Structure 1
Amino acid sequence: MYNPNFYKVQMGKEYMKDARYSLLLKDGTEVLPHQYMRIDFCQDGKHIICEEETGCSLLKLEML
C-alpha cells in the first residue's frame, strides 16, 4: 500500500540490514528521518508502521 502524498526513500541496498528509510512529503519536506529499518503504509492509507532497532511504532499520517 502507499499514500500518494508521501515518498518513502531508501538509503542503502539490503532491506532490513544496511538500508534505512525516511518519509518525505511530495514537496520534499522530510517528515521522518533516515533512521528506520522499514516503513510500511497500512491498508487504510492513514497509518504507517516504522521499525527501528529498538522496536516498532504505529503512526497516524495526519499527525506527521
Structure 2
Amino acid sequence: ITPRPTPVAAVNPGNSKMSVSANGQYNYVWKTDPSWAGTCREFVLTLDNGFQYRSYFKFVG
C-alpha cells in the first residue's frame, strides 16, 4: 500500500451517491487521480454508525 500521511477524501462525479442493487450489491462511483498509476491504495468506507469497510486497489496506467 502506498503510504499517505493523511486520508484523501473520495470524490464522486456529479450527483452520484452510493446505491444498492436489487440483489443487495452496493455501488459507489468515485474519481481517481491519474497520478495513482502504479500504486496500491486502501479505500475506507465509514458508515454513519462508525463501522468501517476496507478495500484495496492496484492502479495500473
TM over 0.5: no
TM-score by length of 1: 0.25
TM-score by length of 2: 0.26
Larger radius of gyration: 2
* Structure with more of its chain in strand, by fraction: 1
